[in-house]
Amino acid sequence: MKRFLLSFFALLCLNIYGTELKTVPLFHSCSVYWDGESQEAPIMEYRRTDAKTWLRAANMVNSPDYPVWRVSLLQLEENTSYQLRLSLKDKIIAENTFTTWSPEIKIGSTIKLPQGAAKIDVKGSPGAWIRIVLPEKGLDGGDKEEAAILFDGAEYVVLENVTIRGGRQHAIHIKNSSNIRIINCDVSGWGRPNNKRHAHRGMFVDDRKSIINYDAGVFIDLSSGVVIERNYMHDPRGGANSWLYEHPAGPCAVYVHAKGSTVIRYNDFIGSDQHRWNDVIEGVRNGFPDGGFARDADVYGNIMLLGNDDGIELDGGQMNVRVWGNQFEGSLTGISTAPCIRGPAYIWNNLIVRLGDEDGVGGQGFKNGYTFCGQGMIYAFHNTLLCKTALGPFGKGDGPRRYITTRNNVFDGDHGVFPMSQVAEKCDFDYDLYWSSYEDIRERTTERLNASGLEKHGLMAKPIYKNAAAGDYRLAPKSPGFNIATENIPGLENFSSAPGIKGDIPLRPTPLRLSRSHIDFAEPGINEVRMSISIAEGAEKRFRVLKNAAFDYFEVSPSEGVLRNGKPVELKIKLLRKDENKRFKGAFMIKLDDGFSRPVTVYSGQDAEFNIAADTPGVIALLKPENAQSNVYEITDFEGRRAMILKGDNRKLNEDKTAEFRFSVPEKNWYYLAICFRPLTPYRSLSSIFYKIDDGEFGMSLMRYSSNWCWAGLTNRNIRQRGWFIPLKLTKGEHTLTISARDDIAVSAFAILRDPEVVSRNYGKSKR
């Protein structure tokens, strides 16, 4: 009778609080949703069905625009059954079970495709997947059809171990489909070639004069259950413009408008300066709940290299979206969460290093800014960021917006660490090791963190890594803060007692081991580096060396071979070509037959501090400080150059404090106006100036700053012109440029140009 009463009471509680406990499992995680009404967050616990001990999940969250309680279960095992229980006020109110995905699938039939572009609309089933077989030497989709391979309404289809070339816009387009797996494919040569420049905004256009954008290695288009795994995507036909001109537009490795249950893991997405990505992984509808990955997605074990904007855009719903074990390198920013509409987003164990677009601009690890701030919580744990600025501020919204929680990160900032707006809003920062290269920033950050009660257990100190020169950015035992990490992170208990990353990043389940993952031929006279590769366990494995066609400045030998347990193979990386005025950036992959690989980034040379002269092709006039008609601004030697020192008046226009330059143009035409400057405050990423041409009105121009003396284009933000480098329509003859200070900057020159590429760091040094 007692047991019956207890059971009846449990059923009554379930009825009161609601019985919907929904699960969305993937390989290593599971999203959980509960739509019961409660002002208090329920407690979620889980365990393997064969285990006795219940584990506490992370805190469940909701948001005003979507009041369903939700949480992610992390670090689960593949193909494993789990139990869930939900409690509120010490009473179990809901239970459920689920099984994580298995990497193994059952093939029911096979379809062989002929050469040429293909459309796939077949439907398999969970117990009978359809395998697509391509021609022996791979499939070439040409440039007539939109995609080399189009999945349209397909279900339970796998494409693996093949080479795919071509597609007018996309290599693979997955449209209105479900349960599609793209595994161990070599994908390149897709998209529109950027054989022309747009006349007004410096963006790449196709032969129809349409701006090239969103050309994807894989386009996930309103599809669910898509897995992209162990692929090598590289060398699209086109490339993206840099931020010198406008927000980048160009190809991406993956373009995402998913419906959910998306997994992108263990891939090599390798751009180049000749073929830069826009975003490496790009999302659609950034400011909407269904934008990008939308919900229930895992991105892990990937390298995302050399984009001109973001390493990855999570922007959009971000509801139970998880990103871990990835390496982000060589893009403007690392991870964009702008905005996190619903959340929660979980970001842990990622390495973000050597950021910057092709002109060296950028360096924000986490980009949170957007035109508005979302309502979703962002959790950042055990990441290592070496960049100019670790975290970006939120976009506009009702404050305080406490939508980010950090624990156990290494924020190794050249400039800033925490946005002061997020400190003022008392976001949840603690147990992090953080640093800025500038003493005044360190002092100001420490003072404000102490006043706000944040980072009570964190530490301001310079991290020491195990072997940064070889690409090992795990914290060294001798580093300050080595033991400050908290182990009280539900779902990541006992992850590590040290802040920052753990394991070989990108994180991949392979016995393949490398003696180094980064090579830099920066020092003169060093033309060859040797390294070893090995397998830690198991039977012998064949390996191949893969690299982009664009990376012709180095070679790797041997290019293939066999690895045996206990017998390392030595590789020789030889530098083939030098340019003392250019920084070469690239990579190669050691790839096994099962598709698992490990990347090695290879850099050479230095970003030289370049300048242009009056006789440089494309330069119409070069205006030096001594050419100015003004006695209100000081002209002096500054950081190795003769410069005009502009000091702003509270960022307000003062028309009584100006300088004038006169110049002539040979004909009526479009021209570009550029400035060579340095901020007086060295860690500023953006600077601004007021200017006008002839008798026009003053406009404000915002300039992005990279490093050293930096060339940037001028535009007029007051008339809402898009971009950073907008052309001017000038008549033949003499004109006047009038400037006035807004920010505190030093100016060494202005230039009137016919060709804006003159001030690009890659001008004349890379082929598009």
Whether the pLDDT of residue 608 is over 70: the answer is no
Rounded mean pLDDT of 278-286?
96
Looking at 105-221, which runs of residues are DSSP E strands?
107-112, 118-120, 129-133, 139-140, 147-152, 155-160, 163-165, 170-175, 178-183, 186-188, 196-197, 204-205, 216-221
Rounded mean pLDDT of 342-361?
94
pLDDT score recorded for residue 765 = 40
The whole-chain average pLDDT of the chain stands at 92
Of all residues in the chain, the percent with pLDDT exceeding 70 is: 95
Rounded mean pLDDT of 722-729?
83
Rounded mean pLDDT of 603-615?
83
pLDDT band at 37 (very low <50, low <70, confident <90, very high): confident
pLDDT score recorded for residue 397 = 80
Whether the pLDDT of residue 763 is over 70: the answer is no
pTM of the model: 0.94
Question: Which residue type, as a one-letter code, is found at position 629?
Answer: Q
Q: What end-to-end distance do the CA atoms of the chain give, in Å?
A: 80
CB-side neighbour CA atoms (13 Å) of 346: 29
Other Cβ atoms within 10 Å of 48 Cβ, number: 14
Whether the pLDDT of residue 544 is over 80: the answer is yes
In CATH, what number does 2-99 get?
A: 2.60.40.10
- Taking the C-alpha atoms of residue 579 and residue 606, their distance in angstroms, rounded to an integer, is 8
Write the CA distances from 677 to 164, 583, 639, integer angstroms: 45, 21, 11
pLDDT score recorded for residue 755 = 86
Whether the pLDDT of residue 5 is over 90: the answer is no
Whether the pLDDT of residue 8 is over 60: the answer is no
pLDDT score recorded for residue 546 = 98
Whether the pLDDT of residue 762 is over 80: the answer is no
pLDDT score recorded for residue 235 = 98
pLDDT score recorded for residue 10 = 36
- φ, ψ of residue 338 to 5 degrees: the values are -105, 105
pLDDT score recorded for residue 582 = 81
B/e letters for 134-169, b = 16+ CB within 10 Å, e = fewer, are beeebbbbebebebbbbbeebbbbbbbebbbbbbbb
pLDDT band at 767 (very low <50, low <70, confident <90, very high): very low
Whether the pLDDT of residue 512 is over 80: the answer is yes
pLDDT band at 415 (very low <50, low <70, confident <90, very high): confident
- φ, ψ of residue 22 to 5 degrees: the values are -95, 140
Instruction: Identify the weakest region by mean pLDDT among 193-197, 484-488, 643-647.
Output: 193-197
Instruction: Identify the weakest region by mean pLDDT among 381-385, 554-558, 630-634.
Output: 630-634
pLDDT band at 198 (very low <50, low <70, confident <90, very high): low
pLDDT score recorded for residue 761 = 65
pLDDT band at 3 (very low <50, low <70, confident <90, very high): very low
Whether the pLDDT of residue 584 is over 50: the answer is yes
Whether the ω angle into residue 339 lies within 30 degrees of 0, i.e. cis, is: yes
Class level of CATH domain 512-605: mainly beta
Whether the pLDDT of residue 121 is over 60: the answer is yes
Q: Give the model confidence (pLDDT) of 294-312 as tens digits.
A: 999 999 999 999 999 999 9
CB within 8 A of 51, min separation 6: which ones? none
Using DSSP's 3-state secondary structure scheme, residue 92 falls into strand
pLDDT score recorded for residue 356 = 92
- Taking the C-alpha atoms of residue 194 and residue 197, their distance in angstroms, rounded to an integer, is 8
- Taking the C-alpha atoms of residue 664 and residue 674, their distance in angstroms, rounded to an integer, is 15
- The topology under which CATH files domain 619-759 is Jelly Rolls (2.60.120)
pLDDT score recorded for residue 764 = 47
pLDDT band at 6 (very low <50, low <70, confident <90, very high): very low
Whether the pLDDT of residue 614 is over 60: the answer is yes
Whether the pLDDT of residue 455 is over 60: the answer is yes
Distance of CA 669 to the CA centre of its chain: 38
What DSSP string runs through 259-300? -B-EEEES-EEE--SSS-BSSSEEES-TTSTTSTT-EEEEEE
Whether the pLDDT of residue 419 is over 90: the answer is no
Q: Give the model confidence (pLDDT) of 643-657 as tens digits.
A: 999 999 889 999 999
Rounded mean pLDDT of 248-263?
97
Of all residues in the chain, the percent with pLDDT exceeding 90 is: 76
Whether the pLDDT of residue 766 is over 50: the answer is no
